Structure 1
Amino acid sequence: MDDCIYCKIANKTLTSYILYEDNDIICVLDILPPSKGSFLVFPKLHIEDYTSLNDEINQKMFTISKYISIVLKNKLKFDGLNILLSSGETGQKYRHIVIQVIPRFKDDNIKIYFNRFREDPSFLEELKKYITTELIRMSQQYLNSEKKEEREEIKKDIDYKLLNQWFEKRI
């Protein structure tokens, strides 16, 4: 996207302090950080919705966040971390998936507020059942597709063995 700051950083049309980069993701120091050492990790492609992010890029983003945090902790001696993933319509100016890693120090005066409310237990129970049922369904679909691939491999194997047997009979 032409007006997206994250895309401009990824395309190198904006100066940044790159910590890590590969074909899929980029990690840069935050130039307007809430605390020293804050950094951002995001996909190079303009992806707005976390639920549409593929597993490989998701894993890369969180893995590099972890290892840069390890290195930073050695240098900055922070006391903890906040990790914030923003996606879609979350009030951010640019709708691009981004992980913001914020090193935390005792008495840093950073406040993160949420307006909390007591959820209805019947809704929580209904939501729990829905999520667990869907996770089971998704896992069964995955396992069934894996078994199908396995069956196809076995079939190829069997075909190959038959071909060998046929060939050996003719030698």
Structure 2
Amino acid sequence: MTDCIFCDIASGEMDADVVYEDDRIVAFEDANPQAPVHLLVIPKNHIESLEEVPEDEFDLIADIHKTIQKLARSEGIAESGYRVVNNCGEEGGQTVGHVHFHLLGGRELSWPPG
């Protein structure tokens, strides 16, 4: 995939503060954090949005959520609480066309989010 900043990060072509990586998933610090802990967790392969995840790849989404759980624990926010956000589509607030999940924590998060 060309012109995808998250693909560039996943492939190592673009620098990011990576906090986790395996053969399918990368997690890195958000460049514009909205909380003391604000990580982005993405699949390495390009999938445009949650709406585009192939039926036979939903295990990847489960693996991403297992990774988020581990990251919340390692970042020290599991006990106090955290938020996981996926913006899907333009009106849903998705600004990068690569499925990704925000892990936010380290402060009290208000509701509704905005």
Per the normalisation by structure 1, the TM-score is 0.56
Amino acid at match of 1:32: N
Please give the alpha-carbon distance, in whole angstroms, between the structure 1 residues aligned to 2:76 and 2:17. 18
**Residues 1:101 and 2:90 aligned together:** no
Please give the alpha-carbon distance, in whole angstroms, between the structure 2 residues aligned to 1:22 and 1:50. 20
**Residues 1:63 and 2:61 aligned together:** no
Larger strand percent:
2
Any idea what SS the aligned residue of 1:73 has? coil
User: Counterpart in 2 of 1:72?
Assistant: 75
Counterparts of 1:108-119 in structure 2, within 5 Å, are 112-113=113-114
Structure 2 unpaired stretches of 5+: none
Contact 1:48 1:97 in 2 (8 A): yes
User: Counterpart in 1 of 2:88?
Assistant: 87
Would the alpha carbon gap of residues 35 and 110 (structure 1) be closer, same or farther in structure 2, given more than 3 Å must change? farther
Computed over aligned residues only, the root mean square deviation of the Cα atoms, in angstroms, reads 2.4
Counterparts of 1:148-167 in structure 2, within 5 Å, are none
Size of the aligned set, in residue pairs, is: 110
Please give the alpha-carbon distance, in whole angstroms, between the structure 2 residues aligned to 1:110 and 1:28. 25
Deviations 1:71-94 (A, max 9, x none): 1126xx983211101334433222
Any idea what SS the aligned residue of 2:76 has? helix
Which structure carries more relative contact order (alpha carbon 8 Å, separation 6+)? 2
Instruction: Report percent identity of matched pairs.
Output: 24
Any idea what SS the aligned residue of 1:62 has? helix
Any idea what SS the aligned residue of 1:38 has? strand
User: Counterpart in 2 of 1:49?
Assistant: 49
Per the normalisation by structure 2, the TM-score is 0.81
Structure 1 unpaired stretches of 5+: 114-171
Would the alpha carbon gap of residues 65 and 50 (structure 1) be closer, same or farther in structure 2, given more than 3 Å must change? same
Please give the alpha-carbon distance, in whole angstroms, between the structure 2 residues aligned to 1:111 and 1:65. 22
